[in-house]
Amino acid sequence: MKQKLLNMLQLQDRLNRQINPDWLQAGYEWYRAIWLESAELMEHYGWKWWKAQEHDLEQIRLELIDIWHFGLSAELVSRQGDHAAAADNMLAQLQGQHSAETDFRNNVDQLARHALEQQSLDMPAFLSLLADVDSSFDDLYRIYVGKNVLNRFRQDHGYKDGSYIKTWQNREDNEHLAEISAGLDADAADFEQQIYSGLQARYPRT
């Protein structure tokens, strides 16, 4: 688990540096991204008592992965970019207790509240939310790495200047990512490179 945490922290640092080499000193409000993503998470779960709503589990999982990106970033900032120290702290939290709250919506509220008050990720609430959508740490790792590689791929192909093509062969890049990842071993040493190569092979030539 620690090695996978280290790998995720390294990948997050790499992606953030690709966007801004001085991201650690930039003062970005990662906590704000967490609470705003929490609101999107709530939308996918459903909170309106006056109408019928279905839980969109796949979108909920993706929102949790986005929140994890921001949680990793906030942890790296708090540890001044020290990957090992960040991994040790997050490992201790991951081995701790889940939230005592059993209601999904209340845990989303707690996630947002903690982000606003403590400017960090509430790990107990996050772990409970992850469990509620039948996702393990290994699931988190597999999906996170895939999304991280896709985000890097987007940056490499013009996402920042608006030239990136998001839909290929009438399907969004997220769909291609899911299909590519499904056929790979997440424990392989070159898992990230296999995903990147798979995306590169499918991306339309311009």
Are 102 and 179 within one domain?
Answer: no
Are 122 and 160 within one domain?
Answer: no
pLDDT band at 52 (very low <50, low <70, confident <90, very high): confident
Are 109 and 174 within one domain?
Answer: no
pLDDT tens profile 127-136: 999 999 999 8
Contacts of 116 (CB under 8 A, 6+ apart): 31, 35
pLDDT band at 146 (very low <50, low <70, confident <90, very high): very high
83 half-sphere exposure, CB direction, 13 A CA radius: 13
Q: What is the rounded average pLDDT of the residues 137-164? A: 91
- The pLDDT assigned to 189 comes to 87
Contacts of 177 (CB under 8 A, 6+ apart): 146, 147, 149, 150, 195, 199
pLDDT band at 206 (very low <50, low <70, confident <90, very high): low
Are 83 and 13 in contact, with CB atoms under 8 Å apart? yes
DSSP state of 26: S
Host domain of residue 17: 2-135
Are 166 and 73 within one domain?
Answer: no
* Closest CA relative to residue 14, chosen from 206, 137, 196, 172: 196
Are 36 and 127 within one domain?
Answer: yes
The CA distance from 204 to 167, in Å, is 9
Are 51 and 107 within one domain?
Answer: yes
DSSP state of 167: E
Q: Is the dihedral of CA 42, 59, 114, 77 positive or negative?
A: negative
Are 122 and 191 within one domain?
Answer: no
pLDDT tens profile 64-104: 999 999 999 999 999 999 999 999 999 998 888 888 888 99
The rounded percent of the chain whose pLDDT value lies above 70 is 100
Are 59 and 100 within one domain?
Answer: yes
Place of tokens 């990230």: 192
The CA distance from 9 to 149, in Å, is 13
Instruction: Give the burial class of 142: count Cβ atoms within 10 A of its Cβ; 0-12 exposed, 13-18 middle, 19 or more buried.
Output: buried
Residue 142 forms part of a structural domain: no
Average pLDDT, the chain: 92
Q: What is the rounded average pLDDT of the residues 42-49? A: 91
Q: What are residue 167's DSSP bridge partners?
A: 172
Are 82 and 171 within one domain?
Answer: no
Are 194 and 118 within one domain?
Answer: no
- What pTM was estimated for this model as a whole? 0.86
